[in-house]
Amino acid sequence: MKTGEVKIINKGLEDEMEVWGYRPCLWKTILVGVGVVCSGGLLLLLLYWLPEWGVKGTCTHTSLRDAHTLLLRTTDEFRQWFRAKAHVMLAPWKKPFDSLDLSATAQLPNGDHSEEHYGKLAQGQPIQIHFFTHHSTKYYWDDETQNFETYKGLEDVNVSCAGIHSDHSSGLCKTLQDFRRLFFGENEIAVRVPSLFKLLIKEVLNPFYIFQLFSVILWSAEDYYYYATAIVFMSVISIATSLYTIKKQYVMLHDMVAAHSVVRVSVCKGNKEIAEAMSTELVPGDVVIIPANGMIMPCDAVLIHGTCIVNESMLTGESVPVTKTSLPSSGEDAAVSYSMEEHKRHTLFCGTHVIQTRFYTGELVKAVVVRTGFSTEKGQLVRSILYPKPTDFKLYRDAYLFLLCLVGVAGIGFIYTIVLSVMNQVPAKTIIIESLDIITITVPPALPAAMTAGIVYAQRRLKRVGIFCISPQRINMCGQLNLVCFDKTGTLTEDGLDLWGIQRAENGSFSPPESEAAEQSLVSSAFVAGMASCHSLTKIEGELSGDPLDLKMFSATGWILEEPTEEETALHNPLMPTVVRPPKHVVLEANQNNPLAQNMSFEIGIVRQFPFSSALQRMSVVVRRLGEKHMDAYLKGAPEIVASLCKQHTVPQSFTETLESYTRQGFRVIALAHRQLESKLSWHKVQSLSRDLIETNMEFLGLIIMQNKIKQETAGVLRELRQANIRTLMVTGDNMLTAISVARDCGMVRAHEQVVIADAVPPKDFNPAAIMWHYTENPQTTKDNQSVEINLEERAYDKRQPPQEQSYHFAVSGKAFAVVTEHFPQLVQKLALRATVFARMAPDQKTQLVEILQSIDYTVGMCGDGANDCGALKRAHSGISLSELEASVASPFTSTTSNISCVPNLIREGRAALITSFCVFKFMALYSIIQYLSVTLLYSILSNLGDFQFLFIDIAIILIIAFTMSLNPAWKELVWRRPPSSLISGPLLCSVLTQILTCLFFQVLVFLLVRQQRWYETWTPQSDACNVSSYSLTHSSNVSSPHDHKNIKNYENTTLFYISSFQYLSVAIIFSKGKPFRQPSYKNWPFMLSCIGLYTFLLFIMLYPVPAIDSFLEIVCVPHDWRVTLVVIVVVNTAVSFMLEILILDIILWRLVFRGNQGGNRPSASPATAKPQAANSRWGSSFLSWLFCRRNKPPRVRYMNVALELQDDPDWPPGPSTVTYASDAQSHISAAL
C-alpha cells in the first residue's frame, strides 16, 4: 500500500468515510509547541477546532497499517473531520469467526467443541491486530482487503438458516467466548453520561464564548466593568441552560438503555450444560434460553426453538404484540442465508420485551445471539442519537459568512485606528486597546444570546400547544418546509379499523353485504368459524392482545378465546390447542332455531398457526372442530392472493369489480378461504407440514370489509397546507387503491385531478425492467366505467392543454419504487416531483424517499405515528412524531395531540422563529455598524464614547430591545409566501445596506453640522454653550484648562450619542416585521413599552437636560436651538429609513424582482389583454431584473429546474397504457393493460 493513500470505510453506507494514516513527527510537534507558547494558547484552540490541522501539523503521512493516528472525513455534504488513535491487540486468530473454519476438520458433531481442543489451538503465537474506535464502533485492520473493516455479528459469516441450526445451536465454550469478546467487546450499549466538568470545558471552548472571554478581558483593561459583568452574567446563564439540556438528554438516553444493559441470562454451553451468566458477557454465537415469563432482550438473537410473543414498541413505535416463530431448519427457506432484515419474524431485537413464550413439553425456547452492543438495532438507534449529523441550514452558514464580513469591516477599522493613533502620537497601550476595541464593537458578543432568545420563546409557545422539541435549532428549519410527508394509518386516518360488513360467497357468486357477523344464523357457517379462528391473538394477563385488525375481526364474531395453562400443557404430552367458541346463550338459541345443528359442536381448537407474512400477504391456521374426525384449514389475506390459491369455480365472476369498488371507496378488504383436510392427517403430522401444502385448493368464502376512518382534522389541515403552497405526500405501508382513495377523500388529490399508477417490474429472463402507466378512473363519474375510462385517457393524453389544466399525480408502490430507483435513475426526480401517493413502502424505503426529495432541494417534513417511521423522522429536516412512545426519542418534535393539526402550528411557529432570527441578526448587525460609525468618527478627533454611554446603549437599548423584539407570536394563518431562507439574499442585503448608508449619511451630517455652528468651540470644563447667546460667542480655542484625558466630553460626542441612540430604536422598529409571518409589533406589548419608554427618556434628556443624567452619561450642554435641530434630523432620519424599507424593499424589490423570479415558471397573461399598469409592472420588473443581474436566471432550487424541463417535454407524463423500458428511456405503446 502506498504511503498517504486514502481508503474508504463503510463503503455505500450512510456513515461512509475517507481515512488517512499518520505517524508522529518530532520536529513538527516541537514547532507547534513553540507556536502554542508564542500565541498564548490560541494556536492550541485553533488545532482543537480544526482536527485536520492538528493531525497534519504534528504528524507525517504513513500507510494505514502502520498508522498511530488516523484522520477521518465523511463523504457526505458536511465533510466533517475526525481524528482517531490506532491501537494494537493480541489475539490467537485474525478474525472473530476464524476459529470455526480452523476447527472444521477437528470438531465434534453440531459444533460441539471441547475445551482441550481450543486450548491447544490458542497456545500458538498470538497475532497483532490493529484497530481504532470511532463513534462507538470498532474498526479492525484486514490484511486481505488492505483496509479497516467492522464486525457486526453472526451475519458476517454468511451462514444459512439451516447452518445456524446445525453449527450454532449448541452454544460456545468459555475459550471461544473469551476470544470473540476480544472483537465484539462487552455486550452493552454504554451511554456514558459525561461529567459536568467535561461538558463545561467542551461548551466553553466554543468560538463564540472564547470571543466573549477576549472581549471581557479587553473591557476590564479599559475599566468597562459594568457591560463586561452583564456579558459574563448572560454567558453563564446560556452555558448553564445548555449544560442542563445536554446533561438531561444524556441521562434520558442512559435510562432508556439501562433497562436491559445488565440482566442475568441462562446460556447453553458447548457441552450441553446450562449456566447462568451476565448479559454483558454474551457474544455472537451464544445460545440463550428465553424464560417462560419473558424478558427484555439484551441483544439481537434469532429464535431456533419455540415461539415468542414480543412487544416491539421501542423500535417500531407499534405497541401491538408480535408473534415470533423459530427459524426454518429444513426445506427451501432454510437454504437461504440468514439476514436480519429478511428474517425479522424469527429475530428478537435488543430492547424489545418478550411477553411470553410458547413451547413443546420438556423443550426450552432457545435463541442464538446474532449481534451485541452498538451493532444491534437498538444500538444503531442510540448511535444515531448520540452522534447526529450536523443540522444543515442555510441561515447558520450565511450567519457565519455575514460575521466574516463584519470581521472584514472590523479589520478596516483596526488598521484605520492604528494609523490614525500613530499619526497623532498616541501611547502604545492606548493604540492596542482602542484598535482591539473596534473589533469587539463590530462583532457583537451578545449576538448568540440574542439569536437563541427567539428560538427559546418559540419552544415555549410550542410547548403550550402540546409540541415538545428535543432539537431547538430545527424550529427555524420548520419555517422553510415546502413539502410534508404523512404516514396514513394513525396519522391521516384513525389508528384502528372498524368492521363495516362482510360479503359471503356461495355457489360461485356473492351474497348481499351483511353488517353483522355475530348473527345467530351465521354461528354454524364456515365464514364465521374462519373469522373466529384465523388470527394470531393471544391472552396476556387475561386480556386479548394482538394485531388491531385481528382484534376487531374476532370481537365482531362475539366468540370467546380460551388458552391452555402451563399446568395443562405439562400434563398432556401433545400441545394443548387454543380454543375458540361462541357464548353459551348463542349456542342454545342456535340449537333451538336449527334442529339439524343440535348434535354439532361449536368449539374449535387451533392446532397450528402459520403467522402473517408481509412477503406472502397471508396467514393460515389448521383447526379441528370438537368431535369431528377431520381437520380444516382457514386462510386469510390480501384478496388477490387468496383468490389465486382457491379453486376457480368457487371465486365469484364479479370478484375483481366488487373488490375494486370497495378499495376505491377506501375500505380495507380481506378475503377468507377454507379447506377440509384429509381425515388421515394426524395431529403430529400437521406440525411438520409446510404451509404451501395446506394453502392450496381452497374454497373461497367471501370478503371482510374493514373501514379506516379519516380523522376529522385531516382534510382541513391538508387544505390549509395546500393554500400555503406546501406540497403534501402520503407514504404508507397500506394497499395502493386504499391509499389513493384516502388521498382523494382527504383532499390530497382533488376531484378533477388524475392519478397515474406507475407499476414497475424488475428484469426477468431476457426482458428488461419496465414501467406500466395505468390511468385510474375518476370516482366522480362512475355511471359507465368504460366510457369514463376512455374519456379520461383521452383527456390526460391531450398535450395541447395549458399546464395548469394538466393536473396529474403519480402513485408508486414500494415494489415499483425499488425498481425505479435501481433501473430508472433518470426518472427518479421526475416521479418525485409529481408523485403524491407512495403505497406498500418499507421503513427503509420511506427514509430513501425523504433523501431523494432532499436531493432536489425540497425542505422535507415527515409526520408519522412512530410506527415504522423512525428512520424517515430522523432523516427529514423536521420530523414530527404523533407517538409518545420511546421511539419518538429519535424525532426532533413530538406532539401530544394525535392528529396532524400540529403540523401547521409547527410551521407557523417555525416561520415566526425564522423571521425573528433574521430580525435579530439584522438588528444586531446594524447596532454594530451604527456604533462602529460613531466610534470611527470620534476616533478622528481622538475622542470616544464614554463608558456609561456604551453601558446605556448596550444594556438599556440593545439588550432590552433584542430580547423583547423576539416575543412577537406567530401569525394566525399560513400564507402562500415563504420566508427567505438565506441572509445572503437580495432583499435582505438591500435592506441592511440601505439602512447602513442612511445611518452613515445622518451621522456624518450631524458630525459636520455641529462643527459649523457659530457657538462651536473645542469643549473645556469652562465651556457653557447653553447660556451664551449664539451671536456673542467667540471662538476661544486657546483656553488651556485640565480636562479628561480620554476626551469624552465634547459637542461631537454628545451629538453623535443622541443621533445614534435614536437610530438603534428606529432600525429595531423597522426590522421588527409583523404580518404575514408574525403578529404585528403593536401586539408585542413588552417591545412596545420598551420602545415608548426609551423614546420618551431620550427626548426628555435631549430637550430638557437634567444635570445629574448629563454628568452620568458624560454629555455636555448644547444650545436649545441645536437640540430642536437634532429632533428634526432624528424625525427625518426615521422617516427616510421607513420609506426606504417599505417602499424600496417591500414594494419595488420584493414584488417586481424577487417575487417575479419565484413565480417565473407560471404562464403569463397575453400582452394583448394586459392592462397598461400591468405592462408598466412588466417593464419595471424587466428593468430591475436586468439591474440586479436576474434576467433569465434559472431557479436556484433543483425541483423548479426539473419542473421547467418537464413543461417543455412533450412525452411527459407518459400516455395511457404505455410501457417504459429500462433499455431505453422512450415510451412504447403496448396493448391496453
How many residues in the chain?
1233
Antiparallel, parallel or unpaired: β 509-510 and 498-506: antiparallel
Single out the residue of 757, 754, 738 nearest to residue 813, CA to CA: 757
Pairing relationship of beta strands 543-545 and 538-540 according to DSSP bridges: antiparallel
End-to-end CA distance of the chain: 57
Asked if 372 and 153 count as a contact pair (C-beta separation under 8 A), the reply is yes
- Would strands 770-775 and 1218-1221 be described as parallel, antiparallel, or unpaired? antiparallel
Omega before residue 1086 within 30° of 0, cis: no
Of the candidates 52, 132, 127, the one whose C-alpha atom is nearest the C-alpha of residue 86 is: 132
**Type of residue numbered 628:** E
| Angstrom distance (rounded) from CA 244 to CA 248 | 6
For 188, residues 6+ apart whose C-beta sits below 8 A from its C-beta are: 261, 262, 279, 280, 373
* Residue for grid cell 411438520: 688
HEC assignment per residue over 599-651: CCCCCEEEEEEEEEECCCCEEEEEEEECCCCCCEEEEEECHHHHHHCECHHHC
Distance CA 532, CA 553 (A): 8
Which grid cell sits at 871? Answer: 428512520
Query: What grid cell was written down for 244?
Result: 442542563
> Locate cell 417534513: which residue?
861
Which amino acid is located at 663 in the chain? T
Three-class SS of residue 337? strand
Q: Give yes or no for a contact between 907 and 477, defined as CB atoms under 8 angstroms apart.
A: no
Contacts of 1137 (CB under 8 A, 6+ apart): 995, 998, 1066, 1067, 1070
Q: Are strands 835-839 and 860-864 parallel, antiparallel or unpaired?
A: unpaired
Cell numbers that stand for 778 in this block: 375518476
DSSP state of 21: E
Q: What CA–CA distance (Å, rounded) separates 587 from 68?
A: 80
The C-alpha angle with vertex 867 and arms to 348 and 618, in degrees rounded to 5, equals: 70
Angle between helices 42-49 and 26-38 (to 10 degrees): 120
Q: Which residues contact 497 (CB under 8 A, 6 or more apart)?
A: 548, 549, 552, 668, 706, 707, 708
- Among candidate residues 307, 322, 333, the one with its CA nearest the CA of residue 687: 307
Query: In 3-state terms, what secondary structure has residue 513?
Result: coil
487 is catalytic: yes
* 736 grid coordinates: 395502493
The dihedrals phi and psi of 520, each to the nearest 5 degrees, come to -60, -35
Q: What does the alpha-carbon distance between residue 1049 and residue 1025 come to, in Å, rounded to a whole number? A: 13
Cell readout for 751 is: 376531484
Q: Which residues of 797-811 are buried (b: 16+ CB within 10 A; e: fewer)?
A: beeeeeeeebeebbb
Select which of 167, 286, 437, 487 is catalytic: 487
Work out whether the CA dihedral 756, 757, 763, 765 comes out positive or negative.
negative
Check: CB of residue 1120 under 8 Å from CB of residue 962: no
For residue 288, give the H/E element and its range.
strand 287-289
Residue 114, CB-side half-sphere exposure with 13 Å CA sphere: 6
Dihedral sign (CA 816, 818, 822, 825): positive
Catalytic residues: 487
